[in-house]
């Protein structure tokens, strides 16, 4: 399924971020974070509905603390949009679907 969400690790992060020619939204999350779990189904919906427009990927901070440190994550969920491999937008905290779509309107 092409609308699927990719799991990024320290090893594949750079190559994945640079390999797509569309904006990619990376969700920094963890299993123990309640608000992260609440937005997970919303991100799945957006991945399917916006297939080909914006790609969605996830970083489990437990498995990739180096990435969390590199992007100075101090609160999760944090969503970072990358365009051409560069971080261009950062959203901290969980939010509802339409607020999220509003915040992403410049990319979709």
The correct pick among 54, 61, 64, 80 for binding another protein (CB under 8 A) is: 61
For the chain, helix, strand, coil in percent to 5 are 35, 25, 40
In this structure, what are the phi and psi dihedrals at residue 83, rounded to the nearest 5 degrees?
Answer: -130, 130
Active site members = 33, 36
Q: Map tokens 């339409």 to a residue.
A: 98
Residue 78 to residue 36: CA distance in whole angstroms: 9
Examine residue 87 and tell whether it contacts another protein (CB under 8 A).
Answer: no
Scanning residues 10 to 49, which ones bind another protein (CB under 8 A)?
30, 32-39, 42
Which range touches another protein (CB under 8 A), out of 11-19, 51-59, 66-74, 81-89? Answer: 66-74
Q: For residues 8 and 57, is the Cβ–Cβ distance under 8 A?
A: yes
Which range touches another protein (CB under 8 A), out of 4-12, 13-21, 70-78, 79-87? Answer: 70-78
In the complex, the smallest distance separating the C-beta of residue 35 from another protein, rounded to whole angstroms, is: 5
Examine residue 97 and tell whether it contacts another protein (CB under 8 A).
Answer: yes
Burial class (CB in 10 A: 0-12, 13-18, 19+), 29: buried
**Site of interaction with another protein (CB under 8 A):** 30, 32-39, 42, 61-62, 68, 72-78, 92-99
């Amino acid at each position: 399924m092409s609308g699927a969400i990719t799991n990024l690790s320290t090893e594949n992060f750079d190559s994945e971020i640079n390999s797509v020619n569309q904006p990619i939204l990376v969700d920094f999350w963890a299993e123990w974070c309640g608000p992260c779990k609440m937005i997970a189904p919303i991100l799945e919906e957006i991945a399917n509905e916006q297939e080909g427009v914006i790609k969605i990927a996830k970083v489990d901070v437990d498995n990739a603390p180096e990435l969390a440190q590199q992007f100075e994550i101090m609160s999760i969920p944090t969503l970072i949009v990358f365009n051409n491999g560069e971080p261009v937008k950062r959203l901290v905290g969980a939010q509802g679907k339409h607020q999220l779509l509003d915040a992403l309107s410049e990319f979709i």
